[in-house]
Structure 1
Amino acid sequence: MKLALLTPQFAPNLYDLAVMLQADRIILQNVERWSRKSRIHRAQIRTPEGTQWINIPIRTEDRKKAIKDVRMDHSDDWVTPLLRTLEYNYRNSIYYDFYEPEIKADFKSAYDYSHLMDFILYIQKRLFRFMDISIDYELASKLSAYDSNPDLLAQRLGANTLFQEHYSRHYQRQAKQKSDPIFDHPKYHQHFEGFEPLCCILDVLFQFGPESFRITDQLVEKVEG
């Protein structure tokens, strides 16, 4: 059994998606402590100069809490600048105008939520739906066998392969038996010159729209082959 241990993310990148699609079981570690270095509250997008991060602000007093207890900071309007950043960088993408109204409404719905976890799971589900992807996961907070020790958890659950997030040593406890998924980053046409890997799935969605499967299928076809 292939087990994936991930932190919740509102806009995963293609490596994250490869892990999800190749795993037999996915556990979102919502009981672990929130970290500013994680990608729970941020995602990487393409820009003319390279890449930049879009961020969801977190209440200062919650920064030492478990992910499931962290609240968003709605004291200032953060959604409008985030949407402007997406517009500035993606307005010339083929499918930006097609998805913009729904994505705008989805992000504005953030103010209906207080907790980060609830909102990012909603956004992630919506983005996956746009890309015709279905992902099943379990929350660590609902799993009686859960343990923060990834090796012990894998043993308890009978996993012989354990996937974790890439570049996560600063915020995710690393397993001794950690494995990497079969992953060769798809190189596709981006709306700016050159190619920047590990952008979030918004980058694929705005460029390929309903044909995003041409990219996401590459994340599993080598495994199936």
Structure 2
Amino acid sequence: MKLALLLPQFAPNLYDLSVMLQADRIILQDVERWSRKSRVHRAKIRVPNGTQWINIPIRTEDRKKAIREVRIDHSEDWILPLLRSIEYNYRNSIYYDFYEPEIKADFKSAKDYTYLMDFILYLQKRLFRFMDISMEYELASNLADYTSDPNLLAERLGAETLFQEYDSRHYQRQAELKSVLDFSHPQYHQHFDGFEPWCSILDVLFQFGPESFRITDTLKG
């Protein structure tokens, strides 16, 4: 059994998506402590001179809490600046106009959410739907056998292979049994000159739209 241990995130990069597509079982570690270095609350997008992060702010007093207990900071309007950043950098992408109304409505719905995790799982589900991806996962908080020790967890669940999040050593406890995915980052035409890897799936969605399968099908191993 191939087990994937990932933190919840609303727009995975292609490595993490590849892990999800190749795993037999996906566990989202919602009981682990939130980290500002993680991608629970942020995603990387393409910009003219490279890449940048878009962020969902969290309440200061929640920064040491478990991911599932972290609340969104709605004290200032963060949604409009985030949408402006996406628009500025992707408005010339082939499928930006096709998805823009729904993406905008999805982000604006954040004001109806208190907890970060509820909102990002909603966003992830929506993005996967746009890309025609079906994904099933389990939450660590719902597992009686869950432990923060990834080696012990893999043993308890009978996993022969254990995948973890991409470049996560600074915020995710690394397993001795961790397997490195045989992964070659797909290169594709981006809307700015050159190619920047490790962008979130937003980059693929706006560039390929309904034909995103041309990229995602290469991730299934």
Normalising by the smaller structure, the TM-score range is over 0.9
* TM-fit CA distance, 1:40: 0.2
Which residue is 2:117 aligned to?
117
Any residues of structure 2 matched to 1:66-215 within 5 Å, and which? 66-215=66-215
What is the CA–CA distance in structure 2 between the aligned matches of 1:23 and 1:182, rounded to whole Å? 13
* TM-fit CA distance, 1:182: 2.3
1:1-53: per-residue Cα shift (whole Å, max 9, x none)? 00000000000010010000000000000000000000000000000010000
Is 1:49 aligned to residue 49 of structure 2?
yes
What is the CA–CA distance in structure 2 between the aligned matches of 1:166 and 1:115, rounded to whole Å? 24
What is the CA–CA distance in structure 1 between the aligned matches of 2:180 and 2:139, rounded to whole Å? 22
Residue aligned with 1:210, SS: helix
Residue aligned with 2:195, SS: coil
* TM-fit CA distance, 1:167: 1.2
Contact 1:46 1:203 in 2 (8 A): yes
> What is the root-mean-square deviation of aligned Cα atoms in Å?
0.4
What is the CA–CA distance in structure 1 between the aligned matches of 2:18 and 2:167, rounded to whole Å? 15
Which residue is 2:59 aligned to?
59
Residue aligned with 1:217, SS: helix
Q: Which amino acid aligns with 2:139?
A: L
What is the CA–CA distance in structure 2 between the aligned matches of 1:214 and 1:171, rounded to whole Å? 32
* TM-fit CA distance, 1:57: 0.1
TM (norm. structure 1) is: 0.98
Q: Which amino acid aligns with 1:111?
A: K
Contact 1:22 1:181 in 2 (8 A): no
Which residue is 1:21 aligned to?
21
* TM-fit CA distance, 1:181: 1.8
Could you tell me which runs of 5 or more consecutive residues in structure 2 were left unpaired when the two chains were aligned.
none
What is the CA–CA distance in structure 1 between the aligned matches of 2:179 and 2:127, rounded to whole Å? 27
1:88-112: per-residue Cα shift (whole Å, max 9, x none)? 0000000000000000000000011
What is the CA–CA distance in structure 2 between the aligned matches of 1:87 and 1:148, rounded to whole Å? 39
Contact 1:35 1:171 in 2 (8 A): yes
What is the CA–CA distance in structure 2 between the aligned matches of 1:11 and 1:208, rounded to whole Å? 16
Q: Which amino acid aligns with 1:2?
A: K
Could you tell me which runs of 5 or more consecutive residues in structure 1 were left unpaired when the two chains were aligned.
none
Residue aligned with 2:187, SS: coil
Q: Which amino acid aligns with 2:3?
A: L
What is the CA–CA distance in structure 1 between the aligned matches of 2:190 and 2:48, rounded to whole Å? 10
1:157-178: per-residue Cα shift (whole Å, max 9, x none)? 0001000012111100000010
Q: Which amino acid aligns with 2:204?
A: V
What is the CA–CA distance in structure 1 between the aligned matches of 2:39 and 2:156, rounded to whole Å? 27
Which residue is 2:217 aligned to?
217
What is the aligned-residue identity percentage?
A: 80
Residue correspondences, number: 221
Is 1:6 aligned to residue 10 of structure 2?
no
* TM-fit CA distance, 1:183: 1.1
